[in-house]
């Protein structure tokens, strides 16, 4: 345990405080010329690595169709009950598609469980960390905001293939 010096115990220089102030200023000056570790956001954007977990998005294939087969596993596993999926039948080979797929971004805690459980690699965590809402309704993202072309998500998909067990 450290004991505080009383004023009467201080030396002459310690009572002046000036040496300590000068020491502090020297440290400030030294730090000023060191390379910056902070970013001037939003002018400078952070480019996250593939391991980053930004907002969850739906993978859109090159033919414009979503990869999701509306199995509902992501919705089941979501601890925040943020996902709502409504399945419907389709003529396509996958037979079922999400007629409605919504994520309430006010609820999402970016845990990545939906991505982990998806059998189709149809929902992945993107690099998007900029989320601004004007009201509660605009925080509910439908397919129009969730679908992202597969080529924009390729490094995350490659990362998952490498590390997902």
Binding flag, residue 159, ligand SF4 (CB under 6 A): no
Shortest spacing between CB 84 and ligand SF4, in angstroms: 10
Binding flag, residue 110, ligand SF4 (CB under 6 A): yes
Binding flag, residue 128, ligand SF4 (CB under 6 A): no
Tell me, residue by residue from 59 to 98, as one string, x for binding to ligand SF4 by CB under 6 A and - for no binding: ---------xxxxxxx---x-x-xx-x-------------
Rank residues 25 and 131 by Cβ distance to ligand SF4 and give the closer one: 131
Binding flag, residue 109, ligand SF4 (CB under 6 A): yes
HEC states along the chain?
CCCCCCHHHCCHHHHHCHHHHHHHHHHHHHHHCCCCCCCCCCCCCCCCCCCCCCCEEEEECCCCCECCCCCCHHHHHCCCCCEEEEEEECCCCCCEEEEEEEEECCCCCCCCHHHHHCCCCCEEECCCCCCCCCCCHHHEECHHHHEEEHHHHHHHHHHHHHHCC
Binding flag, residue 57, ligand SF4 (CB under 6 A): no
Would you list which residues are annotated within the binding site for [4Fe-4S] cluster?
Answer: 68, 71, 74, 78, 108, 111, 114, 118
């Amino acid at each position: 345990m450290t004991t505080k010096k009383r004023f009467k115990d201080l030396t002459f220089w310690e009572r002046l405080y000036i040496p300590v102030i000068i020491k502090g200023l020297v440290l400030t000056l030294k730090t000023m010329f060191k390379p910056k570790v902070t970013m001037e956001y939003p002018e400078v954007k952070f480019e996250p690595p593939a391991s980053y977990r930004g907002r969850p998005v739906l993978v859109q294939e090159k033919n414009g169709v979503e990869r999701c087969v509306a199995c509902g596993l992501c919705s089941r596993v979501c601890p925040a009950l943020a996902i709502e999926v409504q399945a419907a039948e389709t003529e396509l080979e996958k037979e079922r598609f999400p007629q409605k797929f919504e994520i309430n971004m006010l609820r999402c805690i970016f845990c990545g469980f939906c991505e982990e459980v998806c059998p189709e690699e149809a929902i992945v965590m993107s690099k998007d960390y900029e989320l601004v809402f004007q009201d509660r309704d605009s925080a509910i993202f439908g397919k129009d905001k969730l679908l992202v072309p597969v080529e924009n998500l390729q490094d995350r998909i490659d990362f998952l293939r490498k590390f997902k067990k």
